[in-house]
Amino acid sequence: MRSILYSLILISSSAFSQISVFDSKDISLLFLNNDTPLKLMTNSNFSKNISKIFWGTKIIDTIKEPIEHLFIQSNFHPFTIITTGNNILIFNLKNRELKITKIESDNGYPITLMNDNLIFYKESYFNNIPYIVFNSFSIDQSMFIKSIKCKLPVYSNSIFFTYAGSYFSPISKKILIITGIDSGDGEITDPFKGIIFDIESDKYITNALPDSFDIKYMTELTPFSDYKSFRSNYLVNDNMGNILIQKNYILNSDFVIVRETVPRKTFVIKGYCNENDKITGTFVLSSTDNRLKNVIININNTEHFDYIQNMIFHEKNVSGTLDSLTKDDLETLRNFIFAKHNQKFDDEYYQAYFNTFVFYSDESMRKSRLPDVTHLLTPADKQNLALINEALEKIK
């Protein structure tokens, strides 16, 4: 299902053909459930310090503080977790119940859901030795049930370490924690360290990433829809902010690099599309070619689809990889072949979709779109185009 969401209006197909209007431009979370055509949207108005939670077009709660964090992992949990300062809002996606729980801020910083428990991260010292502490909050019992202390010998006692990011894999039950030295003014400096902590065994290891992968340049790590692997954006800027290197890597559930892939811009995930408790699409922020419209689009966020696009981009034959794809997927891949050569698209969905890629979204590329790039197609492009059209004929 292809869909495009403007700042105020959701336009979608299939079960979501109706238009829903919301009263805030800042859409923090979008959740679509294909079994019942309902939309869970969370709107935050930071200027007025008010957050509103919608189920469909109905406001189910108003909170007098801005939303800080959102967690939704429907493949593993029927909950959306929303944190707002010292409050945790637990929204049950199956019975549509909202439960508000007060959490003391000294329990740490919420980083992920695991086994229906919300995991908090906290830096602390014990006997002048730096530790990372994980506090586990039971959603069912509304209480903290476990605390794990992880000693970090990679830092000397005199150095204040700080958390710069954390990423959780529900498959391996591991958390990748990126830490660095705080200069004292809140700026994180060298050396950055990648620590992998195994929650089930209460053990950690230093991340075994290759020397060529300097973890301080990893600007984000976004999970694929099955949470079995992640896409990492690797970005190096000069002192003027100009991009020197931008690459994307695929990491498995143990946070080991598997391959390089087509570079995409920084992903701003706005929500998920759900079918039978399985995430089938990811909503990301993008823009049309004229940049006048900021939109949210639904994309196929699976590693298999990413793998096929990477093959097309690098002139590899995609034979044998298309059988499980939908009509929308195949049409997107067909247009991807033309987007490689800077094809201009009238369809705003395709404008926004391909503008999530570095090769298409560059300002110089936007200004030099071509109405027809057929003459630029390579022999590999033509072979893949024929395979995709053949797969589309089978669906029809």
Domain ranges of the chain: 1-102, 105-207, 302-396
pLDDT value of residue 127: 75
pLDDT value of residue 335: 96
Q: How far is the C-alpha of 276 from the C-alpha of 166, rounded, in Å?
A: 28
pLDDT at 341 exceeding the cut of 90:
yes
Identity at 209, one-letter amino acid code:
L
- Best-predicted range by mean pLDDT (87-91, 174-178, 351-355, 388-392): 388-392
> DSSP assignment, residue 328?
H
pLDDT value of residue 189: 57
In the block, residue with structure tokens 């027809």:
372
How far lies 96's CA from each of 40, 53, 56, 140, 246, in Å?
10, 12, 11, 15, 41
Least confident of 71-80, 217-226, 334-343: 71-80
Assign residue 310 a region: left if phi > 0, alpha if psi is -120 to 50, beta otherwise? Answer: alpha
Q: pTM (2 decimals)?
A: 0.80
Beta strands in 320-394 (DSSP E): none
pLDDT at 106 exceeding the cut of 50:
yes
pLDDT at 131 exceeding the cut of 50:
yes
Average pLDDT over every residue of 93-113? 75
For residues 313 and 281, which has the higher predicted lDDT (pLDDT)? Answer: 313
What top-level class would CATH report for the domain 302-396? mainly alpha
